[in-house]
Structures are given as structure tokens and as C-alpha cells.
Amino acid sequence: MLMANDVYPSRQGTAEAIGERQDPVVFGNGPARSEYSLSEEQLHSYEKNGFIVLPGLMKDVVEPMLEEVRRLGREMSHRKEVVTEPDSDEVRSIFAAQNFSPMVDRISRDRRMLDVARQLLDSDVYIHQSRVNVKPPIKGKSFQWHSDFETWHVEDGMPRCRVTTGWIMLTDNTPYNGPLFVIPGSHQWFVAVAGETPENNFEQSLKQQVAGVPSLDTIEWMTRNCGEVQGVYGEPGTVVFHEGNILHASPDNISPNPRTNLMFVYNSVENTPQRPFSGQEPRPEHLANRDFTPLKPVDPK
């Protein structure tokens, strides 16, 4: 079903096609919000590459947040948002933890995170999705190349690409523990993917994405025309902002160390989702939040 106002049609049953991005990357030239805003140079780098790495920016939250992850695994494993290992209380994922963890709520609104998101999108923002992600040692599975925005657009009805993901490394992210790989510059293109969206696709796609995955030809095209694949590494406390449409993937974690990150998808309040462009039902709230109240910044402790 093709919707009239769909500027990023994808999974419409037609052949895969690469089109131009229809939105700015940095909105309104990224007006500074506070002393925690990005510099001109950092803005330029984000605009060009589609991501920026801020080493050690949130180092102070790492230890308390790792303890919070353990606590939530022990005490809150009855909630659908808390996914633990089948045989223990060890956390695999926690969705939308800002709704039941004051610590996560506070971190999501910390000016070091929030003022950057508001600067990049030149508006107030809310959290479209958030997640603690543990890629466990030896067993952690890979994720194929994809644009997050493509999924949020098709499956959640997010109209435009005015969205950025800010995330905090809670453990080392190394070349060995299944780190994020990106194709710098790929956010300037939108890949309209072939195929259609299966019903309740999220049940499958959280484990292994199939719908919305571009072909090898497209990935080759991107590395030839945008930039070589690049790994995103850092020590605990490092913050990364990556643009919602950048192509990214991650290999499996065969190392003996977990890779644990805390991610917030900041969406502009001027870009709130409508009906999913797939024509299907919206995903559950803990995957695609429908409370668009703007986040209020708090100063770092």
C-alpha cells in the first residue's frame, strides 16, 4: 500500500533502489543549546560522516548504570521490557527503562546527551526507543546492514529523518566483541528495500533482521561511493551519536567479553509518527513510544 505522503517509500514490493536523502542531517545549522553542545567542527564531522564519537563523555555513569542493569535483571524480570537469559537473571536487553528506572530517565535527559540531540535536530525531542543492549560473550549474534530509520519509517510511521541515536558504552567496545560497524556518509542516501514487511515483523527482527536489509550490491555501492566500513570503538563512558539513517551492522561477539551499551533514540517532537507506512498495526509502545512529551534537560551531577 503506497501512501500519498510517503517521501521514503520502502518494502513496497518493487526492486531495491538507492535514492537521495530528503532531509537535512544537522537541522537549522545546529544551534548551540548550552556548554554541552557540539563545536562547529564536531557538527561538520557528524554531518559528513553520519556519526560522532565523544570519548569518555559519560564515564561517571558507567559503574552505577552497570549496577542498575544487574538490579533490573534481578528485580524487574517480570516486565516485558526486561529480557533476561533463559537460564539466569542476566540481562540481554532492557527496553524503555526510562519509564521505570529513575537513573536511566536522568541519564537520558542529562545535558551532555540531550543538548546534543536537541542541537542536531534543532527542536525539542522525546525518546522514540531506548535500549540496554548486552551482546554476550561467545554467543552474541551478528546484525546485518540496515538503516534504523528505514524500520522506524516503515514499521513505526516516523515521517521524516529527523532523528539521532545517542548511546553510551558501558563496557569496552573493541574490534573483538561484536562492535558497531558503519559506512560513513551512507546516511546521505535512502535505500528503498525490496520485499514487504511480514506481520509482527518485530518478533523476528529483534533477533535477526531480515526485512529491510539491503543487498550486497547496495553495500558495495555505498563503500565505493561513500566510505569504507569503519568500526566504532571506545572505552566505557564513551558516547556516540549516529544519524538515524546511517547504514550499520555488527559482527557476532566471539570474544570472552560482553559488549554492553545504553541507547536512546531521540526523535524531534516535530517528527512524531503517524500510521506505519507498511499499512500494518504499529509496533508495541516499548519499541515505538507514542508519548511525545518533550524531554526536560537536567544538569550533570
Number of residues that bind a second copy (CB under 8 A): 24
Q: Which stretch binds a second copy (CB under 8 A): 8-16, 78-86, 106-114, 215-223?
A: 215-223
Positions 112 through 171 that interact with a second copy (CB under 8 A): 137-138, 142, 144-145
39: phi then psi, degrees, rounded to nearest 5: -75, 165
Buried b (16+ CB within 10 A) or exposed e, 22-36: ebbbbbeebeebeeb
Regarding 223 and contact with a second copy (CB under 8 A), the answer is yes
The answer for residues whose C-beta is within 8 angstroms of residue 106's C-beta and 6 or more apart is 298
Instruction: Tell the smallest beta-carbon distance from residue 259 to a second copy (Å).
Output: 12
Q: Which is nearer to a second copy, 99 or 174 (CB)?
A: 174
Window contacting a second copy (CB under 8 A); options: 22-30, 35-43, 245-253, 283-291: 245-253
Exactly one of 175, 200, 204, 210 binds a second copy (CB under 8 A); which one?
175
Beta bridge partners, 94, equal: 82, 132
All three cell numbers of 104, joined, read 536511566
Picking from 10, 4, 5, 285, the residue whose alpha carbon sits closest to that of residue 153 is: 10
Least distance (Å) between residue 68 CB and a second copy: 24
Q: What is the DSSP string of 6-27?
A: -SS--SSSSPPEEEE--S-SSG
56 binds a second copy (CB under 8 A): no
Closest separation between CB of residue 125 and a second copy, Å? 31
- Cα–Cα distance between 147 and 165 in angstroms, integer? 12
Residues near a second copy (CB under 8 A) are 137-138, 142, 144-145, 174-176, 178, 181, 216, 219-220, 223, 229, 231, 249-256
